[in-house]
Amino acid sequence: MRVGVPKEIKDHEYRVGLTPESVHELTAHGHEVFVQSGAGLGIGASDAAYEAEGAQVLASAEEVFERAEMIVKVKEPQASERKMLRPDHLLFTYLHLAPDPEQTKDLVESGAVCIAYETVRDGQGRLPLLAPMSQVAGRLSIQAGATALQKANGGKGVLLGGVPGVAPANVVVIGGGVVGSHAIEMALGLGADVQVLDRNLSVLDQLSARFGASLKTVYASRAALEQAVRKADLVVGAVLVAGAAAPKLVSAELVKEMTAGSVLVDVAIDQGGCFETSHATTHTDPTYLVDDVVHYCVANMPGAVPRTSTYALNNATLPYVLALADKGYKAALLETPGFLPGLNVFKGKVCEREVAENLGYDYVSPEDALQ
């Protein structure tokens, strides 16, 4: 198969779809790989590094899309990239379609086969291609929140871990999954006073066993959530409904009741955000104020640490990329456990139920679409 890797063009997005080491695996399997010049510079991988592993380096994204059958990316294709998609293309990347009607429309009209990292599952029903970026984003959420709490950045001027004789910051994590657990680990490591809210008692039990008495676990009733948010210095939104838009758990009215200079970090922003006052921001302009509360809502947080993120992502995606290239998409999707739910758009049909329901498309199951 001919595999193409364009350079990412989202604001301050330095990750890349394939590392040179992943290219080596593909070329060893007999596949051709086309990499746009400069695609790997953000992770310290030169064009020569890709060429040494058997890739052909092309000058432009247009050439990569023209030559390739499968496009492997990191972020959802931007408008200019979607115009280059053809019915014979296979696209494998993060899509996050539920809150993005324009992208969904373009992918449907392209006729391409579009597989989303974030809805692929493993044999245990977990999200193996979302997990590595959730780990990175969870850890970054605390770094970003700690920075935003500084007075010069609009925050209330609180040091996350405090100092002897001065209380630490009060950190609230909403959601105890992969993002939440990594945010908790970082916040506790910095000495913050941390509580997590979740509605899954099993999750709370696991987190309590992992972190001990230093972590306060709270069942996420509406009253408990509102009380926690009002008192928080930093709130991390770490909720996920796979494939669907994130639920709005913190209302605009509740934001008004927070202390001036408090910080909200919305890690769910790729799926529309879990705070009512959230809208996507960029690494260039990451924060804004609503009712004197700092909002950090960068839609590609892991792009801030592209080398770590790209290698972590490739560790997870490479087996699926190889399956697609070796077997073709139909056999790969049907034979690889948990891969089929990754099929979001298939030749003009929407195959992800939550996306279809959110955006008003007829839903066609992945099984029926492939038949």
Q: Which residues are paired to 218 by β-bridges?
A: 197
Residue 6 tokens read as: 């364009």
Tell me phi and psi for residue 346, to 5 degrees.
-135, 105
CA-to-CA dists, residue 266 to 90, 224, 341, 350, angstroms: 31, 19, 25, 27
Q: Are 314 and 129 in contact (CB under 8 A)?
A: no
Residue listed under structure tokens 């769910």: 268
Return the exposure string of 293-325: e unless at least 16 CB atoms fall within 10 Å of the residue's CB, then b. bbbbbbbbbbbbbbebbbebbbebbbebbbbbb
Q: Is 96 a catalytic residue?
A: yes
Return the exposure string of 114-124: e unless at least 16 CB atoms fall within 10 Å of the residue's CB, then b. bbbbbbbbeee
Helix (H) or strand (E) holding 357, with range, is helix 353-359
Residue 77: which of 95, 60, 90, 61 has the closest Cα? Answer: 95
**Distance, CA of 64 to CA of 36 (rounded, Å):** 6
Which listed residue (31, 96, 182, 295) is catalytic? 96
Q: Is 106 a catalytic residue?
A: no
Residue listed under structure tokens 């959230």: 278
Residue 227 tokens read as: 């009380």
Q: What is the SS3 string spanning 218-269?
A: EECCHHHHHHHHHHCCEEEECCCCCCCCCCCCECHHHHHCCCCCCEEEEHHH
**Distance, CA of 192 to CA of 146 (rounded, Å):** 10
Which listed residue (89, 100, 270, 295) is catalytic? 270
Residues known to be catalytic: 96, 270
